[in-house]
Amino acid sequence: LSLVGSEMCIRDRYIKDYERGFSSINENEYKYIEEEMIADFYAEKETEIFNNKKRLPTIEERIEILKSVKIKIKTIVKREFDK
């Protein structure tokens, strides 16, 4: 699954505005971005596994994907209450 254009624009606007210092990210915005990034990253990794190994990810691989994306999100997006 992937995001439609309007969803990508909304998500990307939040991230770009935050990176430029134009806005802070509140809890609801963070949750929205987190969900969208998990979906994007998971789809990317699942496709990578399927293309390389010709199978879907195992449960263990799915857990590792989720752990790694949560770490990645925390390095990219800081919430206003994390400051």
Q: CA gyration radius for the chain?
A: 14
Q: When comparing pLDDT for 2 and 5, which is higher? A: 5
3-state class of 24 per DSSP? coil
Instruction: Say which range, 14-18, 31-35, 63-67, 78-82, has the weakest mean pLDDT.
Output: 78-82
Q: For the whole model, what pTM was predicted?
A: 0.60
Of 32, 29, 19, 20, nearest to 76 by C-alpha is: 19
> What is d(CA 45, CA 67) in angstroms, rounded to the nearest whole number?
12
The string of pLDDT tens digits covering residues 48-83 is 999 999 999 999 999 999 898 888 877 776 655 555
Count the Cβ atoms, other than its own, within 10 Å of residue 72. Answer: 13
Its sign, for the CA torsion 43, 44, 46, 52, is positive
